[in-house]
Amino acid sequence: MTSRKNRVGGFGVSGLRGATLCALATAMVWSAGAVGFAAPASAEDMRSKQWYLEAMDAEKIWKTATGEGIKVAVIDSGVNPDTPSLKGKVLKGLDATDAAGEATDDYTGHGTTMAELIAGSGEGGGLHGLAPGAEIMPMRIVAKGFKPKKVNEASIATAIRAAADSDAHIISMSIGSEFRDDVEHEAIKYAQSKGKLLIAAAGNSGDEDNKPSYPAKYPEVVGVTAASPEGEVDDYSHHGALVDLAAPGSDIPKWCDATFTRYCDGSDGTSAATAIASASAALIWSAHPEWTANQVLRVMFESAGAGKDGNKKTLSNYYGHGVVRPGAHINRGLGKPGDANISPLTNKPTGSASSPASSQPSAPASSQAPEGKPGADAAVAGSSTKTEDDSQLGLAIGGAAAVVVLAGVVFAVVRKRRSA
C-alpha cells in the first residue's frame, strides 16, 4: 500500500510525492518495458507530471480520436477561459449560483483544473487534456469556497437541466454530497432522457464513513473512483454499489487557487478521476459520433481493464467494471456498442436513442433546496490520502505496447444497480 499525506476536505491541497517516484511507479505498474519519464522541462511543465498520459498511450489514441466535435458540460466552480491551455476551448455556459458573476468566474480554480484535464491543449506548460479536441461548457454552481450568502440552493439541479437542454454530450460532475435531493434527481433523469452521459465523483471518504455520495449514487449516473500510478484504487475513494468505473485520480497536478498563477503537484481525489473518465468518453464518442450515450458507456465498460475481485459474477466494489481504457477500444476495437436505447447502468430503456438528444427546454428547477440539504455547502470532490485495495485488481492500458504487470481479466456484466 502507498500512504498519502495532507488530506483535507473540500477542493483539497496538493500531495507531497515527487515526480521521480511517481514516474518510477508508473513505469513499473502501468506499462511493461518502460523506463520512466524524462524530468520536467521546467517547473511550469505539467505534461511531464501527468503520468497517466504515457500510461494510457495517449499519443497513439490522438492519431485516431481527440474528442473533436464533443462538448463536455463541467458542473463545478466555474471555468477560466483565459488560461493558455483553455484558450478557444470554452463555450458559453451558465452561472447557476444566482450571485454576481459569470460561468467563467472560477472562485477556487477547481473547475478550471477539471476542464484542463478534459480538454486542455497544454499550451504554456499547462495541463494537457486527455481529449484535447473536446470543448468545455462551464456550469458554475454553489459549492465550498463560494462566499455570497444569497444564492440558488438548487444550483446543481439548475445546471444539470441547462446542460440537458444544451448540445453538450457529456455532463461531468466532480462534486459530491451525502444528501439525496429529489429536485436534483429529477434533473438527472431528465438529462438522461435527453441523451446525455452523466459522470460523477464517487467521493473521498472511503477510508472514513464511506457514506454514499450524490450525484454519483443516482442510478443514472456513472460513479468514478480514483486509481494511483501503482495500479490501485486509493482507499480514500468511496467503495460499494455506486462505483461503476475507476480512472487515474492520484498524483494529478492542479491549479493551486483562483489566482491562476501556479500549479500544485500531486493532488489526490475522485474529482480528477471523473474529469479523466469524462475525457475518455469524449475520445470514444468522437470516434463514433453517431453513437448514443448508452453505446459509448457500454464500450467504456467492456473495454475497461479489471481483475479478480473474489466473485467473477459481480462487479468490483472498488473498480466497478474496471479502469477506463479508451485506447483499448480506439486502438484495438475492444467493446461493442450494443442497443442504442438501453442503459448499461440500469438495463432499462432511457427514452432517447439520439446522439445527443435535443428537444424543448424543461421547466427550471426550483430555487428552494429540499429540507435537510445544505445546498450552499455542497462539496466538490477533492483531495485524499492513502492507497489501499483488498481486491488487488490489475490495470490494463489500451495501447498495444502497454501491458499490465498484474494478471487481470476484462469483464462486463449487468450490474445489480443500487436503488435510487
Instruction: Pick the catalytic residue from 106, 110, 355, 383.
Output: 110
φ and ψ of 76, to 5 deg: -165, -150
Residue with cell 477560466: 80
Helical (H) or strand (E) element with 163 = helix 155-164
Q: Which of 288, 295, 396, 294 is nearest to 65 (CA)?
A: 288
Annotated active-site residue 110? The verdict is yes
Instruction: Catalytic residue, from 57, 76, 106, 389: name it.
Output: 76
Tell me the C-alpha distance between 103 and 210, whole Å: 31
Instruction: Tell which residue, 116, 109, 112, has the closest CA to residue 132.
Output: 116
Set 271, 278, 352, 384: catalytic member: 271
Q: If we measure between CA atoms, which residue out of 30, 410, 13, 14 comes closest to residue 228?
A: 30
**Alpha helices (runs of H) in 77-154, residue ranges in sequence order:** 110-119
Helix (H/G/I), strand (E/B), else coil: 114: helix
Q: Which residues on adjacent β-strands are paired with residue 73?
A: 137, 171
The DSSP 8-state label assigned to residue 367 in this structure reads: S
Are 255 and 109 in contact by the 8 Å Cβ rule? The answer is yes
Mention every residue, 6+ apart, whose C-beta is less than 8 A from residue 378.
141, 142, 143, 144, 156, 175, 176, 177
Calpha distance 287→281 (Å, rounded): 10
Active site residue 271: yes
Query: What residues are labeled active site?
Result: 76, 110, 271
